[in-house]
Amino acid sequence: MRHKDRRVTIVVHTDGELASRQYRLPLWAFEAGKWSALVIGLLIVLFFAFAGPIGRAAARVPGLEREVARLEQENSRVQQLAAALNRAESNYQELRSMLGVKAPPDKAAVSPDLMHSIAVRARPPSAPLRYESGTSEPTHWPLDIPGFVTRGQVRPGDPAESHPGIDIAVPPGTPVRAAGGGVVEAAGTDPAYGQFVLLRHAGGFETMYGHASRILVREGDSTQAGQVIALSGNSGRSTAPHLHFEIRREGKSLDPLTVVKQEN
C-alpha cells in the first residue's frame, strides 16, 4: 500500500457492550485534527491569560471616568478661584492707588539680624538632668554652643575702657538660656544693650543678656535655669551679632568666666 493511502483506525468500545465501533481516517486527516486541537488549546490558554488583565482594566474604566470627571470639576473650581483672586488683587491695587499708598518691595531686604535655626541636641534618657529646678545661682553657660568670647571682663581702673561682662560671638537667632533660676527683673530695649533681659537670682546675683533679636519673657516672669529667655542678635550698640553676658552680685560686676561652672 502506498504512503498516500495510509489510514488510522480508531476503535471505540463502550463499557457493557460487546460490539466496538471502528473509525478509519486517512492519516493526513488525523494529523490535521491533532495539530488543529493543539492550536485551539493554545489559543484558549492565551485567551484566558490575556482576558483576565483586560477584564480587570475594563472594570476600572468606569471608576477612572468618575475620577476624571471629579478632577475636571475641581480644576474648574480652582480656575474660578484664581479668577476671583485676580479680580481681588486688581481691586486692591486700585484701592492702594486711590489712597496713594506705595506698593511694598518685591523682595524682602536681607538683614544680618535674620534668625537662623541651629542644631538641637537631645539629652539621653539615662543622662543626669543638666539644670536644677527653682531659684538658683547663675552657674550655667547661657548658650547651647561654646561661641567665641570676643571681649572679656575689663575691670574699672584698667587703662582700657571699662567693660562689665563678656561678649560672645554667636549667629543671630541662637537661643539664649537663663544661667540660673530666678525672676525677670527687667526686659526691654536700651540704647547701649539693645534688647535685653535682666534676671534676679538667689544669693544676690543678677545676670544681664544684651543685644538680643527677640525677647521671650516679660518683667515679673519666673524663669528656670536653662529656660530660653531670648534669641541672640545685633541690636543696640553693636557692630556684629553677639551676646553680651554679665553677672552681678549686690551691684558689683563679676567676671562670668570665674562664676560659671558648667559651660555648654
The verdict on 157 and 87 lying in the same domain is no
83 and 173 fall within a common domain:
no
What pLDDT score does 108 carry?
45
Residues 165, 232, single domain; the answer is yes
Phi-psi region of 84 (alpha: psi -120 to 50; beta: other; left: phi over 0): alpha
Residues 91 and 157 both lie in one domain: no
The reply to whether 105 falls in a domain is no
Among the candidates 98, 115, 133, a domain finishes at: 98
- C-alpha 248/C-alpha 260 separation (Å) is 12
233 and 172 fall within a common domain: yes
Task: Evaluate whether 165 touches 253 at the Cβ level (below 8 Å).
Answer: yes
Would residue 4 count as lying in a domain? no
What's the confidence (pLDDT) of residue 1?
A: 44
CATH number for the domain including 250?
2.70.70.10
User: Is residue 36 assigned to a domain?
Assistant: yes
Query: Which pLDDT tens digit goes with each residue over 184-196?
Result: 999 999 999 999 9
Task: Look at residue 243 and tell me if it is in a domain.
Answer: yes
Domain match, 155 and 253 both: yes
Residue 254 lies in domain: 148-259
- Asked, for residue 140, whether it belongs to a domain, the answer is no
Same domain, yes or no, for 85 and 156? no
Position 107 scores a pLDDT of 46
Domain end, chosen from 39, 71, 98, is at: 98
pLDDT at 125: 59
Give the span between the Cα atoms of 100 and 98, in whole angstroms: 6
39, 70, 98 - which closes a domain:
98
**Domain assignment present for 184:** yes
163 with 226, same domain? yes
Number of domains in the chain: 2
Task: Indicate the DSSP class of residue 233.
Answer: B
Same domain, 89 and 170: no
C-alpha cell at 198: 535682666
Instruction: Provide the grid cell at 223.
Output: 524663669
Do 157 and 86 lie in one domain? The reply is no
Q: What is the pLDDT of residues 143-196, one digit of tens each?
A: 998 888 887 766 655 555 567 889 999 999 999 999 999 999 999 999 999 999
H-helix or E-strand containing 91?
helix 27-99
Statement to judge: residues 255 and 152 lie in one domain:
yes
Using alpha carbons, list the distances in angstroms from residue 245 to 140, 195, 240, 252. 12, 13, 15, 14
Same domain, 159 and 244: yes
Q: Is the residue at 110 inside a domain? A: no
User: How big, in percent rounded to 5, are the helix, strand and coil portions of the chain?
Assistant: 30, 30, 40
Give phi and psi for 104, each to the nearest 5. -70, 155
Q: Judge whether 111 lies within some domain.
A: no
Those residues of the chain that have pLDDT short of 70 are: 1-5, 96-129, 153-162, 262-264
